[in-house]
Copies of this chain bind each other. A is one copy, B any other.
Amino acid sequence: MTRRNEIADSDKEAGATPTTHCPLPIAFSFTLHATDGAARTGVISTSRGEVRTPAFMPVGTAGTVKAMFPEDVAATGADIILGNTYHLMLRPGAERVAALGGLHQFMNWPRPILTDSGGYQVMSLSSLRKLTEEGVSFASHIDGSRHMLTPERSIEIQCLLGADIQMQLDECPAMPIAHEKAVESMRLSLRWAERSKRAFAEKSKPGQALFGIVQGANYEDLRRESLERLREIGFPGYSIGGLAVGEGREEMFRVLEFTAPHMDEGKPRYLMGVGKPADIVGAVARGLDMFDCVLPTRAGRHGQAWTPDGPVTITNARFADDETPLDPASACPASRDYSKAYLHHLFKAGEYLGAMLLTWHNLHYYQQLMADLRAAIAAGRLGDFIAEFRARTGEAVL
C-alpha cells in the first residue's frame, strides 16, 4: 500500500509548475479505439490516470464507496469513481476537504474522480428548496442549515474537491413533464451551463474537465436544442441528464436513440445515474460511454447479488444450505471464496461482512460487464454479446 506515498511524490513533481496543484497537468482527452454499430470503446485520459470506456463509475457519495476499501474498488477494475457534491459540501465541507489535500487524498483514492453538480441531490434530499435564476437555496437534510447552490458555487466546490471531471449545475425535472415546462427548465440549464463554463475557466486546474448536461425530458426537439446550444458553448464531454427518473427502459432508450447520434463522436458521452446491467448494455449499444449508479453498492448492502444470470436475493431461505459460492470461477474473492449459505447467514445475522462481500461482488460483476462490453466492441461482436446477455438474463436491450 503505497498510494498515499504516490500522491505525495506526484505533488512534489508538481512543484515545478507553481501555478497549479494538479499533480500531472496532462490535458483531458478522449481517444476512440473501436466502434461496433453505434457502440464505441476508447480511453479518457486525465491527470489522475486513464479511464477505459465504456466505463462504470461506482458511487462514492460521502467520500467512500460504501462498505469498500478503496484498493478493492480499484481491484474490481474501476478506473474512476463518482463523488456527490451535495453530500460533501454539507459534510465534511468542501473547504475542509481542500485544506486536507483534496478529495483524492482525503479518501485515499489516487485515480480519477468525477463529481456531479449537487443539483440533483438538492432536489431529491434537501427541504425548503427555492429555485431561482440565480440558483437553488435549500436546507441541509443533515442539520437544517441554509445553503445556496449556484452554477458558480457548484464549480467552486468541485474545484475545491479537486474533481477531474466536473458537471455543470442543471435542473433535472421529474417526468412526465409538459413541453412548455420542459422548455423553460432546459433553457435555464443552458444559461447555467454558460455560467458554469465561465466559473470553471476561472477556478479549475489544468487537466480537469467540465461536462455540459443535455436536458429536455423525452422531447426530441428539446434534446436537440439543448445539445446544439451546449455544443455552441463548447465542452470536452457531454452528459445526458434527466433520464432514469422513472420513465421506463424503453422510453429511456428512445431518448438515447434520437440524442446520441448527434453528440460529438470525439468526446465522451455520459449517461447519468444509469443503471441496471440491461440499461447499461442497451445504452452502450446506443453509443454511450460512461455510467454511474448506486445499484451495485446499495443492492449489495441489502442482500442482492448481481450475476451473469440476473439478480439473486441472498436472504432467500433457499440459500441457507447452499454451499456453492456466487461464482466459483471469479477472480473476485467475494464471489469465489464464500458460500451462498455463509452470505445468507451474514445478512440474517446483520453482520457488516455481508454488505462488504456483496458490495464487492456486485462491483466486480459490473466491472466485468464493462470489460466484456469493451472486448466485444473491440472485436466487433457486440451483437453476439447482447444475444448471450439476453439468453442468460432474459433481458432484451435492443
Contacts and interface: CB of A to CB of B under 8 A. Distances in A.
Nearest to A357: B69
B339 A100 contact: yes
Contact of A341 (B68, B96, B341): B96
Interface in A230-272: none
A345 B64 CA distance: 10
A168 to B, nearest CB: 26
Given A345-B92, A356-B69, A108 B338 contact: yes
A106 B341 CA distance: 8
A67 B350 CA distance: 11
Interface in A51-98: 62-64, 66-69, 71, 87, 91-92, 96
B356 A100 contact: no
Interface in A1-34: 1, 3-4
Contacts of A320: 92, 96
Contact of A353 (B64, B99, B333, B348): B64
A321 B4 contact: no
B96 A336 contact: no
A346 B91 contact: no
A351 interface: yes
Interface in A106-123: 106-108
A336 B71 CA distance: 14
Contacts of A50: none
A339 B3 CA distance: 13
A96 B321 contact: yes
Interface in A304-335: 320-321, 323, 333
A351 B62 contact: yes
B64 A346 contact: yes
A12 to B, nearest CB: 17
A355 interface: yes
Contacts of A356: 67, 69, 352, 356
A144 interface: no
Nearest to A350: B62
Given A64-B353, A106-B339, A356-B356, 20 more contacts: A1-B336, A62-B349, A63-B342, A64-B346, A66-B352, A66-B353, A68-B353, A69-B353, A71-B333, A91-B345, A92-B320, A92-B341, A92-B344, A92-B348, A96-B321, A96-B341, A100-B321, A100-B341, A100-B342, A107-B342
Interface of A: 1, 3-4, 62-64, 66-69, 71, 87, 91-92, 96, 99-101, 106-108, 301, 320-321, 323, 333, 336-339, 341-342, 344-346, 348-349, 351-353, 355-356
Ranked 4 nearest A-B pairs via Cβ: A67-B352, A1-B333, A64-B353, A92-B345
